[in-house]
Amino acid sequence: DADVTQTPRNRITKTGKRIMLECSQTKGHDRMYWYRQDPGLGLRLIYYSFDVKDINKGEISDGYSVSRQAQAKFSLSLESAIPNQTALYFCATSGDRDYNEQFFGPGTRLTVL
Amino acid sequence: AQSVTQLGSHVSVSEGALVLLRCNYSSSVPPYLFWYVQYPNQGLQLLLKYTSAATLVKGINGFEAEFKKSETSFHLTKPSAHMSDAAEYFCAVSESPGNTGKLIFGQGTTLQVKP
pLDDT digit string (tens) for B1-52? 788 999 999 999 999 999 999 999 988 777 889 999 999 888 899 999 998 7
pLDDT number for residue A63: 95
Closest CA of chain A from B66, distance in Å: 18
A57: exposed, middle or buried (Cβ count in 10 Å: 0-12, 13-18, 19+): middle
* pLDDT level of residue A20 (50, 70, 90 thresholds): very high
Contacts of B6 in chain A (CB under 8 A): 42
Residue B108's closest CA among B1, B17, B23, B15? B23
Cβ <8 Å between B103 and A102: yes
Provide the pLDDT confidence category of residue B100 given band limits of 50, 70 and 90: low
DSSP E strands: which ranges in chain A?
A: 4-7, 10-13, 19-25, 31-38, 42-51, 54-57, 64-70, 73-78, 87-94, 103-104, 108-112
By C-alpha distance, which of B86, B89, B88 is closest to B112? B86
Q: Which letter, b or e, does each residue of B91-109 get, where b requires 16 or more Cβ atoms within 10 Å of its Cβ?
A: bbbbbebeeebbbbbbbbb
Residues 13-72 of A with CB under 8 A from B: 31, 33, 40-45, 48, 58
Mean pLDDT calculated for residue range A93-98: 84
- Neighbour count for residue B10 (Cβ, 10 Å): 10
In three-state secondary structure terms, B71 is helix
Residue pair A64/A77 in contact by the 8 Å Cβ criterion: yes
CB contact under 8 A, B42 and A106: yes
pLDDT value of position B99: 57
Q: Is the bond preceding residue A8 a cis peptide, omega within 30 degrees?
A: yes
Burial class (CB in 10 A: 0-12, 13-18, 19+), B22: middle
Q: What residues of B are in contact with residue A99 (Cβ under 8 Å)?
A: 100-101
Are B47 and B61 in contact by the 8 Å Cβ rule? The answer is yes
pLDDT tens digits, residue range A41-71? Answer: 889 999 999 989 999 999 899 999 999 999 9
**Window 74-113 of A, Cβ < 8 Å to B:** 90, 92, 94, 99-107
Pairing between β-strand A10-13 and β-strand A108-112 as defined by DSSP bridges: parallel
A73-80 average pLDDT score: 97
pLDDT at A92 over 70: yes
Minimal Cβ distance to A45: which of B44, B102, B108: B102
Question: In the prediction, which pLDDT does B2 show?
Answer: 80
Neighbours of B64 (CB within 10 A): 16
Please count the other Cβ atoms lying within 10 Å of the Cβ belonging to residue A17.
14
